[in-house]
Structure 1
Amino acid sequence: MRPWDAAAPLVRAAQRGDALAMDDLLKLVTPYVTRLCTSIAPRDTADAVQESLLAVFRGLRGLRDPQAFYGWVRAVTVREAARVARRTASETPAEPQEIARLRDLLPHAGSELTTEVRDLLARLPVQHRTVLVLRELEGLDERTMAALIGVPEGTVKSRLSRARSSFRKAWTR
């Protein structure tokens, strides 16, 4: 059974006001939300997760298609994690001398990021970190990312290019 198939009945029940279904739904998506927030807001993961889950809780009634739940949660989480990271982090751009693609740096044993990769991501500006995570970890294309974060596709492409360059330079140090 696909995750969105398992979530659909819970979404419908939670939308009707079933508090237990809402609790089960939030428990179901917490690991996914945490994984996204850890990559986008590494210094404030707990706050980003809390803000994201709160936004999911508040906005669930407005979700029309229960099958779209995970995509909607991703959009909400990316927005909230980027907002928390911008609000709380002092952004210092990565140094301009950084070569491996982020996907190639993931450990073979699982989907968790290595400590070194997490540290490098944390040093990137939020906008660069967000597009890098969405592209390399979530596998989204530029058009989808642009719609998700609310910027033109060309902006996503330029941010992605700069993010990859900064990441490569930092990695080779």
Structure 2
Amino acid sequence: MPDERSDDRSVRLVRAAQRGDTLAMAELVDLLAPYVGRVCSAIALDQGADAAQEALVAVFRSLRTLKDPGALRGWVRAIAVREAVRVAHRAARTVPADLSALPARGDPQLAADIRDVLDRLSPEHRAVLMLRDVEGLDERTAAALLGVRTGTVKSRLHRARDTFRKAWTS
């Protein structure tokens, strides 16, 4: 899903899925799953797959309420962020993260070090870092997705970056 507005194909798929077309729903899952997975993994870390699954379920339960199929990407992102934060909070209350299942991209030790530092951040801080620094959203858009004020996003982002920096250098 390369840009903020959905393309003609995804708009057609949404409309067909809203009418109950199961093949269109399956195509939408194939289209949305990688994006939802990236968003959820950045926030929920080891619980990213669970968060992505819950986000996709929420998307398809609510698909009929989507009034503008062209806004699919932003709508899905909002749901994915909300579910990832919820799942990350739930996971934080149970067990610490297991660093043995880190992705093998690039330098494995670097990935492990970054993952370790991210594990120390709260889900809200990971969410704001992901939305601003990975997704490239502005503060206003990130605030709307997180359901907080713009000033809250700015302060969380400052604290998240500061905490990350301090943990990284220690």
TM-score band, normalised by shorter chain: 0.7 to 0.9
- TM-score by length of structure 1 reads 0.82
Structure 1: segments with no counterpart, 5+ residues:
92-106
Q: How many pairs were matched up? A: 154
Q: Any runs of at least 4 consecutive aligned residues in structure 1 with deviations exceeding 4 A, and if so which?
A: none
The change in CA–CA distance for 1:2 and 1:142 in structure 2 (over 3 A counts) is closer
**Does 2:21 correspond to 1:18?**
yes
Letter in 2 for 1:138: E
SS in 2 for 1:139: coil
Q: Give the equivalent residue in structure 2 for 1:160.
A: 157
Pick from 43, 48, 60 the counterpart of residue 45 of structure 1.
Answer: 48
Q: How many angstroms does 1:132 deviate by?
A: 0.6
1: CA distance between counterparts of 2:140 and 2:119? 25
2: CA distance between counterparts of 1:131 and 1:151? 11
Letter in 2 for 1:153: T
Aligned pairs for 1:90-169 within 5 A? 90=93, 114-169=111-166
Q: Is the 8 A contact 1:39 1:118 kept in 2?
A: no
> After superposition, what is the alpha-carbon deviation per residue over 1:30-76, rounded to whole angstroms, capped at 9, x for unaligned?
01111111110012112101110000110111111111101110000
Q: Aligned-residue CA RMSD in angstroms?
A: 2.0
Q: Is the 8 A contact 1:43 1:89 kept in 2?
A: no
Letter in 1 for 2:142: M
Aligned pairs for 1:50-69 within 5 A? 50-69=53-72
Letter in 2 for 1:86: H
1: CA distance between counterparts of 2:70 and 2:111? 32
1: CA distance between counterparts of 2:118 and 2:29? 26
The change in CA–CA distance for 1:2 and 1:139 in structure 2 (over 3 A counts) is closer
Q: How many angstroms does 1:2 deviate by?
A: 5.5
Which structure is richer in relative contact order (CA contacts within 8 A, separation 6 or more)? Answer: 1
The change in CA–CA distance for 1:53 and 1:170 in structure 2 (over 3 A counts) is same
Percent pairwise identity: 60
Q: Is the 8 A contact 1:11 1:25 kept in 2?
A: yes
Q: Is the 8 A contact 1:44 1:88 kept in 2?
A: yes
